Each structure stands twice: as structure tokens, then as C-alpha cells.
């Protein structure tokens, strides 16, 4: 019985592919097949796979049905968290999605999932991504401050959702946590954030995030050990479509 994670599958069986890099980049060629084969090799029906957002390019649920079917057919239990591109999944629709897909898929939002004696907590998260102003050597010399103020509001809302997830698990007696975000825990301007603080406050052992795909983005945030927790980037192309073994 193991716990695995990955993010940014960006499936598009029924929808328009919105990222041209997915066509150009070799790592994305037939990535659905590569990932399916890796899952079949690594996972058993007793395992849990957490998919940390950006599941589908579909604009609504009917454009995502085949993508979700593909996920259903992967081995093991699947727990999904929201990504910024998951237009089919408005927070208010979480209950409906769970009614449609449980027990094959669990849509995790404002709640937690159980893995052994761990609570799996998570939310989409958010990080400020610019615009940044660069000098001629490519160094950051400024940024869009209005966008930064707006980003703080989104970060605060996501922190509230994450706290709810932790508190529900804590109230049910859990003391061991793995924390899942779609966005990286810190922006490229930060060393720490509300998300790293919360991971420390509750003692989450590991923080798993995705969203940063394409080589130039792989080192946008924390990786490895930081203040007693382990941080992992789990975007699919970074992992070469091999799910990350978390526990």
C-alpha cells in the first residue's frame, strides 16, 4: 500500500489543446500513454494516487468526461485537487462531482482524505506570477504591484480553504499530514509564504505541488528539505510521467 502523486496531466481527449508546447516538446508526446503505462507498472489497486490539479483542458464537465474516464481507469484510488485550468470544477460543484464519481474518484476541496494514519489535506493554492520587469541581463527589477495586491487576496482565500482542510482533519483526531497544492508554495520573490508557515504550524511532513512545467519553471519554488519539511515538485513533465512515491 503506497501513496503516489503527480500533477498537470492536461488531458484533452475531447477538448482543444491550449498549450502549443505540448505539441512541440518531446516529453509531452503521447504523454497519456506514457503515464498510463507507468501507473500500470508501479501502482496496485491498494495504492492511492493524488492528482494535484490541471487535469483537463476541457471548458466544462461534458468536455472532460473522457479525461476523467481515463483517470478512473488508472489503477488504485484516485484523489484529485483543483488546478487553475480545471474549468469543470468550480468549488461549489465539488459535492456534485463526488456524487457522480465516488468511489472511483475523490474530489478533495475543503475536506481531507485518509491514507493510513495520515490526513491528506490540500487546496489549489496561489502564487504571484508577475508581470515582472527585467533589466537587459534578465534580472527582476520590478513587478506589477496592482497584480501583486490582487494575488494576495487569492492567496488569503486559499489559505483559509487549506486551514479548513487541516482543522477538519485535526478535529477528527489526525496528527500526521501530507499537504497538497497545485501552485508552488512560494512565488519566485519569496523564500517563505503563508503556505510554508501553515505546513510548519500543523507539522505537515511533506508538501507536494505542481503547476511549474517546462524546464525554465522547475526551480521556481522550494524543493527538498526546508525548515523540517520535504517539498516536492510533482508536475508530470518534471517527473517524466512517473508518479512520485510520497509514502
Positions in the binding site for Fe ion (CB under 5 A): 8, 54, 83-84, 211
What nine digits make up the cell of 72? 478512473
Q: Which is nearer to Fe ion, 12 or 211 (CB)?
A: 211
Q: For the CB of residue 242, give the shortest distance to Fe ion in the complex, in Å.
A: 17
Q: For the CB of residue 124, give the shortest distance to Fe ion in the complex, in Å.
A: 9
Q: Which is nearer to Fe ion, 118 or 212 (CB)?
A: 212
Strands 229-233 vs 206-209: parallel, antiparallel or unpaired: parallel
Buried b (16+ CB within 10 A) or exposed e, 206-223: bbbbbbbbeeebeebbbb
Distance (Å, whole) CA 190 – CA 222:
10
For residue 207, give the DSSP letter. E
Distance (Å, whole) CA 103 – CA 203:
29
Q: Which is nearer to Fe ion, 115 or 186 (CB)?
A: 186
Q: For the CB of residue 161, give the shortest distance to Fe ion in the complex, in Å.
A: 16
Q: Which is nearer to Fe ion, 12 or 115 (CB)?
A: 12
Distance (Å, whole) CA 215 – CA 238:
8
Q: For the CB of residue 187, give the shortest distance to Fe ion in the complex, in Å.
A: 14
Place of cell 484533452: 12
Distance (Å, whole) CA 2 – CA 11:
24
Q: Which is nearer to Fe ion, 77 or 213 (CB)?
A: 213
Q: For the CB of residue 231, give the shortest distance to Fe ion in the complex, in Å.
A: 17
Gap between the terminal Cα atoms of the chain:
9
Distance (Å, whole) CA 247 – CA 237:
21
Q: For the CB of residue 82, give the shortest distance to Fe ion in the complex, in Å.
A: 10
Q: Which is nearer to Fe ion, 8 or 220 (CB)?
A: 8
What nine digits make up the cell of 30? 503521447
- The answer to whether the CB of 143 falls within 8 A of the CB of 171 is no
Amino acid at each position: 500500500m503506497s501513496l503516489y502523486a503527480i500533477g498537470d496531466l492536461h488531458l484533452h481527449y475531447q477538448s482543444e489543446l491550449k498549450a502549443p508546447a505540448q505539441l512541440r516538446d518531446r516529453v509531452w508526446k503521447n504523454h497519456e500513454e506514457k503515464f498510463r503505462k507507468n501507473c500500470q507498472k508501479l501502482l496496485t489497486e491498494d495504492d492511492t494516487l493524488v492528482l494535484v490539479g490541471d487535469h483537463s483542458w476541457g471548458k466544462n464537465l461534458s468536455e472532460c468526461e473522457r479525461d476523467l474516464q481515463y483517470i478512473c481507469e488508472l489503477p488504485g484510488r484516485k484523489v484529485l485537487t483543483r488546478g487553475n485550468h480545471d474549468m469543470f470544477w468550480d468549488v461549489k460543484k465539488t459535492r456534485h462531482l463526488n456524487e457522480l464519481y465516488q468511489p472511483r474518484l475523490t474530489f478533495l476541496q475543503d475536506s481531507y482524505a485518509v491514507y493510513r494514519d495520515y490526513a491528506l489535506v490540500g487546496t489549489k493554492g496561489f502564487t504571484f506570477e508577475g508581470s515582472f520587469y527585467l533589466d537587459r541581463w534578465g534580472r527582476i527589477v520590478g513587478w506589477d504591484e496592482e497584480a501583486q495586491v490582487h494575488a494576495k487576496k487569492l492567496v488569503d482565500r486559499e489559505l483559509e480553504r487549506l486551514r479548513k482542510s487541516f482543522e477538519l482533519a485535526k478535529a477528527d483526531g489526525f496528527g500526521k499530514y501530507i499537504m497538497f497544492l497545485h501552485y508552488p508554495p512560494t512565488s519566485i520573490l519569496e523564500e517563505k509564504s503563508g503556505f510554508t508557515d501553515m505546513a510548519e504550524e500543523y507539522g505537515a511532513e511533506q508538501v507536494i505541488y505542481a503547476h511549474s512545467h517546462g524546464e525554465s519553471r522547475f526551480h521556481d519554488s522550494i524543493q527538498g528539505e526546508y525548515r523540517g519539511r520535504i517539498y516536492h515538485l510533482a508536475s508530470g513533465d518534471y517527473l517524466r510521467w512517473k508518479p512520485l512515491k510520497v509514502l
